[in-house]
Structure 1
Amino acid sequence: MMAFAPASDVDAVEVNWSDVSLSALHGNHYQLSDYELTIFTIEWGADYSFGDHFFFIDNKYDEEHDYSAYAELLVRGSVNKNTSWNIQTGWLTDVLVAVRVEHAHPLGEDNQAYGIGTDWRVPGFRYFKVNAFTRRNDMVDDNSMLNLVWGLPFSFGSQSFLYDGFFDWVSGVSGQYATSFNLTSQLKWQVTEVRSQPLYVGVEYVYWNNKYGVRDVNERNLNALIKLHF
């Protein structure tokens, strides 16, 4: 049985690590928006004594310099860190309670998702996470979502590279939303040798079927990418 620690025993929240990055991307094969976009993305991830969080916002500018944005916040509470139940089974290293919030501007669309996350120890990978959600949608009926994220560092000679990304599968809603999947990944070369503040250049590739749940709208988009961590 899991046992939560009483409030008097709970220490102040500690930050194990925190990472902020700024990316600039440019591509010209976007669907359901202007064909050509420049996107500035701010990401902030951190690991705490209670769990972890990840936040990002995409700031999008079209050829006419019109602005739109999309943001997500994911907060997860760890079973291992908050209970007496220590999950270390094979490759599975933790189970987490997950909450995700999504916002799109200027549509004013706000969605919430609630579910279970899992962390995995996969040889060679820096991280490998799988989250399953029930989504409470603002503009269509509720549905389900599976999310996978990974980071795979590798090297050629003295040069360091990182292949990372995410996969989202979102279930359809009859007459409202087609089943969608989005595989977005980045292949990056680390330009600087400073591990605490690496600078990357590379590409991002988007393979998205039924984008935003719109049937037969499929995006295949290659973006130039530069990314700096702080």
Structure 2
Amino acid sequence: MNAFRVGAAGAVAVLAFATGMQQASAADWSDTSIGYRYGTRFAEPYNTKDLEKHILNVTHASGYKYGSNYFNVDFLNSDGDDANAQEAYVLYRHTLDLGKVTGKEFKYGPVRGLGFTAGFDWNTKNDHSYDSKKHMVVAGPTLMLDVPGFLNVSLLAVWESNHPLGVSSRYSYDTHALLNASWGIPLGKSGWSFEGYTNWIGHKGKNEFGGPTAPEINFDAQIMYDLSGAAGMKPNTLRVGLEYQYWRNKFGTPHKVPGATAKTPMVRAEYHF
């Protein structure tokens, strides 16, 4: 039954991905960037030490007649306390604007529009102890709130599986809920902006080894400044700032486990083209 549910949800995400990619050539707007961030207080479950990580990311966002696409891939390199592990984490989301599709207006009070979001996460890591191979498919409704920039709130169903070391075959968790808020809000004409996301991820049953899991909270936000003018570039080309992540019960690991809660300040820089 789990395999069937994951397969059906995967079809939804693949359809959304294909639709979004077909529309990319007809995008009304698009933004692609390469970014770097660095911190020394990352955490991993069952690891008692603060970890140093360098992260390189490639991000693409675009909008077309009926919705928007968001794609991000992080390449993470850890220090020796995390076995000098290398990791890749890929995320894709497509949001279909139901107002634009149906020709109806879904604006009410603070709500600017209504959408349907689908997508996937894909992860691999070679830390030689757990070796995450996470696959995740999501789908559900999205409220687009009326703020400067954007603020989207989505309630998504999650179909997640993993195949780490010590597990003979891919393991599917219970289907669970994800409440996500993502935002990018300019702070007037100051050159500063407030950006990020918050995920509340519900209980997903037993883990791969039969142990308990716990609901997750993952808050990741940054305050960014546009340095483009000082560098002689067009606006929003070069941006730098500070980022902070609070991740409780990381990957569903109960917070009493060492390393299951991360409190990580970072520096961040982005080049947009």
Q: Which residue of 2 aligns with 1:19?
A: 31
SS in 2 for 1:137: strand
Aligned-residue offset at 1:22: 1.1
1:84 counterpart residue number: 103
Alpha carbons of structure 1 residues 174 and 105: separation in structure 2 relative to 1, 3 Å: closer
2:261 partner amino acid = N
Structure 1 residue aligned with 2:89: 70
Q: Secondary structure at the match of 1:88?
A: coil
Which stretch of structure 1 is more off in the superposition, 32-41 or 74-83?
32-41
Decide whether the 8 Å contact of 2:56 with 2:76 is kept in 1.
yes
The letter for the 2-side match of 1:179 is: P
Is 2:171 aligned against 1:152?
no
The change in CA–CA distance for 1:46 and 1:143 in structure 2 (over 3 A counts) is same
Q: Which runs of 5+ in 1 are unaligned?
A: 1-11
Q: Which residue of 2 aligns with 1:55?
A: 71
Amino acid at match of 2:41: H
In 2, distance between residues paired with 1:26 and 1:50? 36
* Per-residue deviation, 1:92: 1.1
Please state how far the C-alpha of 1:63 moved relative to its aligned partner. Answer: 2.8
What is the match of residue 157 of structure 2? Answer: 134
Q: Which range is displaced more, 42-51 or 173-182?
A: 173-182
Scaled by the length of structure 1, the TM-score of the pair is 0.87
SS in 2 for 1:183: strand
CA shift for structure 1 position 198: 2.2
2:218 to 182, 185, 195: 182
**Deviation digits for residues 102-129 of structure 1 (CA, Å, limit 9, x no counterpart):** 000133321101101121112xx31111
Tell me how far apart the structure 2 counterparts of residues 88 and 175 of structure 1 sit (CA, whole Å): 40
**1:202 partnered with 2:247:** no
State the distance in 1 between where 2:174 and 2:184 align. Answer: 33
Task: Name 2:270's counterpart in structure 1.
Answer: 227
Tell me what 1:112 maps to.
Answer: 137
Partner of 1:168: 199
Q: Which moved more, 1:214-223 or 1:33-42?
A: 33-42
In the alignment, the residues of structure 1 paired with residue 272 and residue 113 of structure 2 have an alpha-carbon distance, to the nearest angstrom, of: 26
Instruction: Kindly indicate whether the alpha-carbon contact (under 8 Å) linking 2:226 and 2:236 is maintained by their aligned counterparts in 1.
Output: no
Output the amino acid matched with 1:136: W
C-alpha separation in 1, matches of 2:272 and 2:85: 27
Identity across aligned pairs (percent)? Answer: 20
Please state which structure has a larger fraction of its residues in strand. 1
Q: Which moved more, 1:87-96 or 1:161-170?
A: 87-96
Determine which of 113, 116, 119 is the counterpart of 1:97: 116
- Give 3-state SS (helix, strand or coil) of 2:51's partner: coil
Q: Deviations over 1:148-171 (max 9, x none)?
A: 01112125xx85111110000000
- 1:71-111 Cα offsets, whole Å, 9 max, x none, are 11001111111113222222212111110200001333211
Q: Which residue of structure 2 aligns with residue 7 of structure 1?
A: none
Structure 2 SS opposite 1:27: strand
Contiguous gaps of at least 5 residues in structure 2 = 1-21, 126-131, 163-172, 208-212
For the 8 Å contact 2:54–2:77, the answer to whether it is kept is yes
CA distance in 2, matches of 1:128, 1:197: 19
**Aligned equivalents of 1:159, 1:129: Cα separation in 2:** 23
